[in-house]
Amino acid sequence: MVTREELLVKKMGDKNFKKLEALGNTHVLDFVAKYVELCNPGSVFVCDDSSEDVEYIKKRAIERGEEKKIGLPGQTAHFDNYCDQARDKDNTCYLIRKGLDLGPHINGKDRDEGLRDVHEILKDIMKGCELYVRCFSLGPPNSIFSQCALQLTDSPYVAHSEDILYRGGYEQFKKLNGSNEFFRFVHSQGELINGVSKNLDKRRIFMDLEDDTVYSTNTQYGGNSIGLKKLAMRLAIQKANKSDWLTEHMLVMGAHGPNGRVTYFTGAFPSACGKTSTAMLPGETIIGDDIAYIRNVNGRMRAVNVEKGIFGIIQDVNAKDDPLIWKVLTTPGEAIFSNVLIDDGGTPHWLGKGTPEPPHGVNHFGEWTPGTKDEKGKAVDISNKNARYTIPLSRLENTDPKADDPEGVPIGGVIYGGRDSDTSVPVEQSFNWVHGIITKGATLESETTSATLGKEGVRIFNLMSNLEFLSVPLGVYIRNNVEFGRKLTDPPLVFSVNYFLKSREGKYLNTMDDKRVWIKWMELRRNGDVEAIKTPTGYIPKYPDLKKLFKDVLSKDYTEKEYEEQFTVRTAKLLAKLDRIEKVYRADTSELPPELFSELEAQRKRLQEAQQKYGDEISPFTLEKDQK
Ligand code: SPV
Ligand code: MN
């Protein structure tokens, strides 16, 4: 019989084996050996985070044709299958043991059956390929927040992307002292055709919550293949909710107030709803744009960015609206462009770039000229709507100095935002933590976008922008959030924002820039510098404060008419929303915290009273006058 060591040495050679052995962890060795044997790669490369090893992976991505050098030094392009351009919700499942109920929102599959299925698919899947083994630290290393993650993948593009997005964890793994406290990821892009995954019918993204292991097969799109992103987030949500901390789909940023004051915010937004652009507003500083680990440290809420790079949507990134990202994407330096068009001169193009369209190029479809149609006769855009750029945060000019602080940053405000065309005002503060968690976070709805496969523009329930990623019952998650704030001695304020409010005629009531004002207002509120108007659903800004902020921040004359239209309290719409939300929760099978229904009921009562008194829409000026 071949021993574990013999098998590994045979596949990876002495040098790689020594690197793996040096971690001093038999769980790592067992796991790698199991999947080396099953997936049967031609060779195995173990990365020890040295610049030499990292460079080797980048080189292999080019040699294998998974990335192509383009335009400027450091830039590469990568393509996914035309039908593999977003997170695949239908084939993303939790493997759940019989008898365990995680509720109706969680896509579950029988664990034994799922494991059998995916292991059959994995058999010999890496034949003739090179397997990459990488260790990462989710969150800054050497911190109470950090979590170790082990990635096996046959895609050098995935291994390279993770290098940009996550902190190396080779040394951190040694500090585990042999423990099995790490997340595990096995990814294979499967057989390729023209460089893209061929067997999409065997695309699987299965998460085994019992073993903290994720299997991802026959897919390349980053959201499905980069295990450390949303897949690790799902494992971390389970881990956090079994304890007393939080894993959230949240940005972390510093808002800069008067006299050099910095107030840190976290913010949850569904994908493609302004999260990344909020994280990097001009004049403010960014810590992270997607995932946060949050803990109570001596009574304060503190957060770290789980990542160290951005896998951002490129559509509409242009010189005027996103000067900071634009600069990174148009100057030499490391950047991977996925599913954009590369013109004949090697320059990348995308929807909303704001530069002239080239006459010809190659994109996620293949050869492209304007007017190209796919087999179904559908016009192929110059780039996919979910085309992305992958860059290290360190390349941005506005990275916060505390971005890698192992202690995280103290959070002054939590923001919940969704894509809502007709119900909530652009910015509002909740009455307190519990009211905020329930009526801002747990009632969040958003209209669907291109970030997941399926129809766009459908309003769906998406509590805390995290519904898709929850790995625990709704009740457990909400209770943990409620309790988290209760234990803080100085809880942050909780806000809602809505960048997508429209007039009755269907026109956006705000510009993209206006969020720069909302963040300043929230910063002032947290520090007690401005007053507010009480509505049935929270506190909204006063006109003179916004008028001043629009002038100071955007040099804009903000009119009373604009303010009134934007901040009209739409009682009928808000009540209809409560009906929809209550229905969702009444149908849930998990044990929901009592605060959920009491907060919703109290909100309903306030709204009904206001509706009786003022009607379906209330001007903020009317509310203000009556409060005097
Ligand atoms: C998102 O869609 O929320 C992302 C990218 O951040 S993905 O990796 O696809 O989740
Ligand atoms: Mn995200």
Is 566 found in the same domain as 460? Answer: yes
For 249, the token pair is 């789909």
Pocket test for ligand 1, best of 225, 250, 290 (most atoms within 8 A of CB): 290
* From 39, 47, 93, 273, the catalytic residue: 273
Q: How far is CA 627 from the centre of its chain?
A: 40
Q: What's the 269 CA to ligand 2 centre distance in angstroms? A: 8
Is 205 found in the same domain as 336? Answer: no
Which atom of ligand 1 approaches the CA of 452 most closely? 2
H helices, E strands: number in the chain: 18, 35
What is the model's pLDDT at position 136? Answer: 98
Is 438 found in the same domain as 333? Answer: no
Q: What's the 224 CA to ligand 1 centre distance in angstroms? A: 9
DSSP string, 216-242: EES--SHHHH-TTTHHHHHHHHHHHHH
What is the model's pLDDT at position 454? Answer: 76
Pick the residue whose CA is nearest to atom 1 on ligand 1: 271
For 11, the token pair is 């596949």
Of the CA atoms within 13 Å of residue 388, those in its CB half-sphere come to: 23
What is the model's pLDDT at position 104? Answer: 84
Q: What's the 75 CA to ligand 1 centre distance in angstroms? A: 21
Q: What's the 228 CA to ligand 1 centre distance in angstroms? A: 11
Please check whether residue 32 is in contact with residue 134, taking contact to mean a CB–CB distance below 8 angstroms: no
- Treating both helix axes as pointing N-terminal to C-terminal, what angle do 560-567 and 543-554 enclose, rounded to 10 degrees? 110
Average pLDDT value over all residues in the chain: 96
Is 375 found in the same domain as 304? Answer: no
Give per-residue pLDDT as tens, 486-545: 999 999 999 999 999 999 899 999 999 999 999 999 999 999 999 999 999 999 999 999
Give per-residue pLDDT as tens, 553-602: 999 999 999 999 999 999 999 999 999 999 999 998 889 999 999 999 99
Is 446 found in the same domain as 386? Answer: no
Pick the residue whose CA is nearest to atom 3 on ligand 1: 271
SS3 assignment, position 134: strand
Is 548 found in the same domain as 438? Answer: yes
CA 174 – CA 228 distance, rounded (Å): 19
Residues in contact with ligand 1 by the CB-under-6-Å rule are: 87, 222-223, 229-230, 271, 290, 311, 451
- Treating both helix axes as pointing N-terminal to C-terminal, what angle do 51-63 and 156-165 enclose, rounded to 10 degrees? 140
Pick the residue whose CA is nearest to atom 9 on ligand 1: 223
Which of 243, 262, 292 corresponds to the end of one domain? 243
Which of 361, 395, 429 corresponds to the end of one domain? 395
What is the model's pLDDT at position 231? Answer: 96
Q: Is 187 exposed, middle or buried (0-12, 13-18, 19+ CB in 10 A)?
A: buried
Question: In the 8-state DSSP scheme, what is residue 491?
Answer: P
Pocket test for ligand 1, best of 84, 161, 231, 271 (most atoms within 8 A of CB): 271
Please check whether residue 517 is in contact with residue 497, taking contact to mean a CB–CB distance below 8 angstroms: no
Torsion over CA: 313, 318, 324, 326 (sign): positive
Phi (first) and psi of residue 148, to 5 degrees? -85, 145
Pocket test for ligand 1, best of 84, 229, 338 (most atoms within 8 A of CB): 229
Torsion over CA: 569, 572, 575, 581 (sign): negative
Starting from the CA of residue 313, give the closest ligand. 1
Q: Please give the tally of structural domains in the chain.
A: 3
Listed in sequence order, the residues at least 6 apart from 218 whose beta carbon sits closer than 8 Å to its beta carbon are 121, 188, 189, 190, 191, 197, 198, 199, 200, 201, 202, 203, 204
Torsion over CA: 552, 555, 559, 565 (sign): negative
Q: Domain range holding 11?
A: 4-243
Is 165 found in the same domain as 255? Answer: no
Q: How many residues does the structure list for the chain?
A: 628
Q: What's the 99 CA to ligand 2 centre distance in angstroms? A: 31
CA 36 – CA 193 distance, rounded (Å): 23
Starting from the CA of residue 453, give the closest ligand. 1
Confidence of residue 103 (pLDDT cuts 50, 70, 90): confident
Is 318 found in the same domain as 206? Answer: no
Is 323 found in the same domain as 228? Answer: no
Q: What is the CATH number of the domain that holds 55?
A: 3.40.449.10
Which atom of ligand 1 approaches the CA of 289 most closely? 6
Pocket test for ligand 1, best of 91, 158, 230 (most atoms within 8 A of CB): 230
Quote the strand ranges of 481-578, DSSP E: 493-497, 532-535, 538-541, 569-570
Which atom of ligand 1 approaches the CA of 226 most closely? 8
What is the model's pLDDT at position 458? Answer: 84
Q: pLDDT > 70: what percent of the chain?
A: 100
Residue keyed to tokens 């829409």: 617
Give per-residue pLDDT as tens, 284-320: 999 999 999 999 999 999 999 999 999 999 999 999 8
Pick the residue whose CA is nearest to atom 2 on ligand 1: 271
Starting from the CA of residue 449, give the closest ligand. 1
Please check whether residue 446 is in contact with residue 465, taking contact to mean a CB–CB distance below 8 angstroms: yes
Q: What's the 555 CA to ligand 1 centre distance in angstroms? A: 34
Is 195 found in the same domain as 327? Answer: no
Q: What is the CATH number of the domain that holds 458?
A: 3.90.228.20
Which atom of ligand 1 approaches the CA of 249 most closely? 3
Confidence of residue 226 (pLDDT cuts 50, 70, 90): very high
Give per-residue pLDDT as tens, 241-277: 999 999 999 999 999 999 999 999 999 999 889 999 9
Verify whether residue 273 is a known catalytic residue: yes
Q: What's the 616 CA to ligand 2 centre distance in angstroms? A: 35
